[in-house]
Structure 1
Amino acid sequence: MHTNELRFLDAIVTRASLDLVANITPADLDKPTPCAAWTLHGLLSHMATQNHGFAAAADGDADLDHWKLISLGEDPVATYRASVTRVLNAFAPHDLQDRKFELAEFSTEVTFTAEQALSFHFVDYLAHSWDVAKALGLPVKFEKEVLDAGLRFAESIPDGANRKSPGAPFGPAVDATGPSALDRIVALLGRSPSWPDKA
């Protein structure tokens, strides 16, 4: 998929995540999420950190410190909004497709193309938008173009023993019990579409 198309799709899901996060109140931060290790506070901190990490990589900064978990401070929604602004701005330059990404959290031995980096961020924030929506009990919908791309990427991610390793970005795939394309995507990424009924 071309860089510009990926950039467009990534912006859609990243902005969708912000629209959902904007509904968070202080009382919501301790709620569980489909990411079993994280409350909503932990998930939001992870998402903000990842945005800053990808933005730094797009800017050519490979310092691992950019991937260290950040504090959400007194206004978690504002902190997340700032991270979204930063990553979308970092992905905007016209020469992005010519850059190599050093994604230190993924590997310190290889670099990634812009297309690879954008696809990683896209599928992650598609899933995290669903995570936040589920935690808050809110609906989330995406256009067919987004879901088709998300399904292709989710199907391409190997489902093996490495998904059980500490720090693995996705858990082992589960049966897709829901009827929608988004259900199938999150199931392939290790989430139960019927969460919290089936964790």
Structure 2
Amino acid sequence: MDPLDVLRRADRRLVDLVTTLDTTDLGLPSPCTGWDVRSLLSHTIASIDAFAAAADGGDGPSEEELFSGADILGSDPLAVARRSIERSQRAWATITDWQHPVTSVLGEMPAGQALGIVTYSTLIHSWDLAVAVNRAVEFDDAEAALAEKVGSALVPALRPQELFGPEIYTDGAATPTQRVVAFAGRHPL
């Protein structure tokens, strides 16, 4: 599957989830310790902006802004999400050489790796958002495969900074989605 198609599907899921939110949902706790839905969604959208900036060379949040959870949603979270996702989609559609280096908030890396990371982030945080508002999310095979591949390198590298919790044990009956989120330190449903 084309990595851009996986990103598009992850982005659509995020927009679909944001569409269902009301103002009371924004104050609900999320699976991310210390963050409510508003701060989780702000971080998720800031991540999309940060990696769009790596692809298009425009402005994006600093690492500090990205991980602060500071509110960037204002009074219209859906409009903010759509604007960031549209920028991201335009930026990634211009990339023709996935090995070309881009500079992200995580440092310089091949464009394909950066695309994988933002897709992974959107998938994981869409799951977090869905759990917070009591909705189910199941990744399809392509999403789960990308998340397992990207997560296997990214999560261990970021665990020392406490950006991911320890892996949660799952048995052989776990779905691909449950395995992905458990590896990222989330308790699967």
Please indicate, yes or no, whether the TM-score normalized by the shorter chain is above 0.5.
yes
Q: 1:18 to 1:61 in 2, by over 3 A?
A: same
Structure 2: distance between partners of 1:103 and 1:9: 20
Deviations, residues 163-194 of structure 1 (Å, cap 9, x unaligned)? 142xx432221212672110000010111113
From 162, 169, 173, give the equivalent of 1:175: 169
**In the alignment, what sits opposite 2:34?**
37
Partner of residue 197, structure 1? none
**Is contact 2:46-2:61 (8 Å) kept?**
no
Q: Which of 133, 136, 140 lines up with 1:136 in the alignment? A: 133
Give unmatched runs, 5+ long, in structure 1. 195-199
Match runs of 1:89-168 below 5 Å? 89-95=90-96, 97=98, 99-104=100-105, 106-107=106-107, 111-157=108-154, 159=156, 163-165=159-161, 168=162
Taking a change above 3 Å as real, the CA distance of residues 88 and 67 of structure 1, as seen in their structure-2 partners, is: farther
Structure 2 counterpart of 1:54, from 51, 54, 64:
51
Say whether the 8 Å CA contact 2:55–2:95 is kept in structure 1: no
Q: For the residues of structure 2 that align with 1:70 and 1:28, how far apart are their CA atoms?
A: 14
The 1:43/1:96 distance shift into structure 2, 3 A limit, reads farther
Contact kept, 8 Å, 1:48 with 1:70, in 2: the verdict is: no
Relative to 1, partners in 2 of residues 1:70 and 1:60: Cα closer, same or farther, differing over 3 Å?
Answer: farther
Pick closer, same or farther for the CA change 1:66–1:192 going to 2, 3 Å: closer
Contact 1:133/1:139, CA 8 A, preserved across alignment: yes
- Using the TM superposition, give the Cα deviation of residue 24 of structure 1 relative to its aligned residue in structure 2, in angstroms: 0.8
Distance in 1, Cα, partners of 2:174 & 2:93: 35
Does structure 1 conserve the Cα–Cα contact (< 8 Å) formed by 2:47 and 2:121?
no
Query: Per-residue deviation at 1:96?
Result: 5.0
Per-residue deviation, 1:153: 2.5
Identity of aligned residues (%): 29
Q: CA deviation at 1:94?
A: 4.6
Q: Compute the TM-score of the two structures, normalised by the length of structure 1.
A: 0.82
Q: CA RMSD in A?
A: 2.4
The answer to whether 1:189 aligns with 2:189 is no
TM value normalised by structure 2 = 0.86
Tell me if structure 1 keeps the 8 A contact 2:32–2:128. Answer: yes
Q: How big is the shift at 1:42?
A: 0.2
* 1:55-96 Cα deviation digits (max 9, x unpaired): 111012476648735621111121112111111111111525
Letter in 2 for 1:175: Y
Letter of the aligned partner of 1:24 in structure 2?
Answer: L
Give 2:150's aligned amino acid: F
**Number of corresponding residues:** 184
**Partner amino acid for 1:50?**
S
